[in-house]
Amino acid sequence: MPYLDGFHKLAIVTLLALLEYSILGAMVGRARHKYGVEAPATTGNPDFERYFRVHANTLENLIVFIPALWIFSLTVSYQFGVALGLLFVIARIIYALGYLSAAAKRAPGAIASFLINAILVLGSLIWLVIKAL
């Protein structure tokens, strides 16, 4: 059944995004130890703060990404949704690598993440409104 195939691909992309977030969280813990920032502090060392912000910003994006990915994929196109989902995971890697090297280098990944989320949200909304008319 094509639907189940699409479902499985969509589930894998979702799990990859969650795995990526979990890895970023582990990196925050390691950075906390490396830079001597004791919990619950989230400031004090600029290098640690970049790790913390990468993780926090990824969560902020996931709140939009996951429901929008599923709605888009189940209503508009699961193939395009899966492709956008994979691009999102890649964009977050680009964001993390850029931000961890220097805060000013986060823009390409941040912009890509924003655009992907915008496509998923607006694409779903437009499609559903058109279908409702």
Q: Residues 29-88: pLDDT tens digits?
A: 999 999 999 999 999 999 999 999 999 999 999 999 999 999 999 999 999 999 999 999
pLDDT tens by residue, 102-114: 999 999 999 999 9
**Amino acid 28: pLDDT:** 98
Range of the domain at 70: 2-132
Under the banding of pLDDT at 50, 70 and 90, the label for residue 5 is confident
**Amino acid 7: pLDDT:** 86
Q: What is the CATH number of the domain that holds 80?
A: 1.20.120.550
pLDDT of 4 higher than 60: no
pLDDT of 3 higher than 60: no
**Amino acid 2: pLDDT:** 53
Task: Kindly write down the DSSP assignment for every residue of the chain, as one continuous string.
Answer: -HHHHHHHHHHHHHHHHHHHHHHHHHHHHHHHHHTT--TT---S-HHHHHHHHHHHHHHHHHHHHHHHHHHHHHHT-HHHHHHHHHHHHHHHHHHHHHHHH-GGGGHHHHHHHHHHHHHHHHHHHHHHHHHH-
- Specify the number of domains making up the chain: 1
